[in-house]
Amino acid sequence: MAPESQAQIKRIAEDFGKDNIIVILGASDIEGAEIAAETLTTGDPSFAGPLAGVSLGLPVYHILEPEVKAGIPEEIYEHEVGLASMILDTEEIGRKFKVIRANKRS
């Protein structure tokens, strides 16, 4: 994740309190999404950005998860995200992110 984004998110988490924020990702590959999720929960795994060694512990979701889709008006979701949801394995993304969130809590 870009250092500028890490810096902004770190500042926002400090201002609003990390218990009051959720994160939604839109990465196209599951590996990239997992790295972004790790950065925002346990810290930057590359130790290159402002979140190196910083455990924000934010709950991270992916826009393509079925439970996220269920919370968004259908017409808008299909218009904005429909194409990506046809290309990527949304069920697998849902399973992986449930594991990521469960690990964050443990």
> Any idea which residue has 């795994």 for tokens?
45
Contact 19, 59 (CB under 8 A): no
Residues in the chain: 106
CB of 21 to another protein, least distance (A): 5
User: Site residues (CB under 8 A) for another protein?
Assistant: 1-2, 4-5, 8-9, 12, 16, 20-29, 32, 36, 40, 58, 63-64, 67-68, 70-73, 76-77, 80-81, 84, 88
CB of 72 to another protein, least distance (A): 5
CA 45 to chain centre: 15
CB of 3 to another protein, least distance (A): 11
Q: What is the H or E stretch that residue 76 is in?
A: helix 74-87
